[in-house]
Structure 1
Amino acid sequence: MKRRVFIKFASASTLLFSSNIVIAKSINKDTLAVLDEVYEILFPKTNTMPSSKEFGALEFLVKNISHKSFDDYDKNLVLDGTKDFHSTFPNFLNLKNKEKKQIIEDIINSNDYAQSWLSKLIYYALEALLSDPLYGGNKKQLGWKSVNHKIGYPRPKLTYGQKI
């Protein structure tokens, strides 16, 4: 990985955190594709755990990021970080898995902004893996089954404090 690539990626963090300009957020097709692929690198299928696609990490994130209670800082970090990642690594989606893993590993080890972005993605993927399926993740309760979780009762009937 070239030094200039990391400098470019790091400079984006300065713009993200110092800008007072409000930008309308919409999740475009490229953003979704990058997020989906990054999630597959971070959460691949193993003998005991489902992949991010199987447990619905991206679906959970998309469903929850658009809710009014979703933290604006997290929303900006996820969306702007993905946009910055895609502009820094425009061929990411065309690379082989080994090359994708190497990029993720390299940015984790050398860039605080990228670490924060990936950390937030991991946080929401773990929520998707272990939350009630009502919230959009944990498809077919695969997350619970993979860790032998006993479901707690009563389970939620509605999301986000809606009245029954």
Structure 2
Amino acid sequence: MKRRKFLIFGSVLGLSPYIQAKGVSEFEKTFKKVAPTLLAVQDHLFPEGSKLPSAKSMNTIQFLFETMMHESFDRDIKAFVIEGAKELEKREKGSFLSMTAQEKERALRAYEETRYGRNWLSHIMTLTMEGLFSDPIYGSNIKEAGWEAISSYSGLPRPTSRYIAL
């Protein structure tokens, strides 16, 4: 290998972790901005005191973050989840988090009347339910409470690691 090719190859290899890390940290930064809104929606959909475990007690916001961080997660859905949360806050003039349960219900029902909002809420519901009913190895469904609430059991064989490397 010639010296020039060696230097170019070494530079590319040396920079590759930083290039990848920049993308991850940018998503993390964006997610952290909308996480309170996402959590508030999850908590409203799956509140404390219902037959199902609450979103908060099952740590579904962390499940959502880790799921969306995985390299196999669809980029379009990732962007849709983030933009939908921003849109909800924009529609409610930044006050969604401080609303009462009745006001949140009204706001979410109004958002649901739009095609975009209906699709976004459907995705949030699906992703939250995935957390509630996934194998506990993925960080949600703590102590199998989601399964217990619906009198269900895990599939066999159960996963032995969180995610398959691609």
Alignment partner of 1:54 is 2:57: yes
SS at match of 2:30: coil
Mapping for residues 1-164 of structure 1, pairs under 5 Å: 25=27, 26-89=29-92, 90-108=94-112, 110-162=113-165
Bigger relative contact order, structure 1 or 2, given CA contacts below 8 A and separation 6+?
1
Letter matched to residue 142 of structure 1: A
SS at match of 2:109: helix
Question: What RMSD in Å do the two structures reach over aligned CA positions?
Answer: 2.0
TM-score normalised over the length of structure 2: 0.77
Letter matched to residue 96 of structure 1: T
> Which one has the bigger helix percentage?
2
The 2-side partners of 1:47 and 1:123 are apart by 18
The 2-side partners of 1:121 and 1:28 are apart by 14
SS at match of 1:82: helix
Letter matched to residue 72 of structure 1: R
The 2-side partners of 1:52 and 1:102 are apart by 20
The 2-side partners of 1:29 and 1:78 are apart by 13
The percent identity for this pair of structures is 31
The 2-side partners of 1:162 and 1:75 are apart by 19
Instruction: After superposition, give the CA deviation of every residue in 1:27-46 in whole Å (9 maximum; x if it has no partner).
Output: 34441110110111111134
Structure 1 segments of 4+ aligned residues over 6 angstroms from their partners: none
TM-score normalised over the length of structure 1: 0.78
Larger-Rg structure:
2
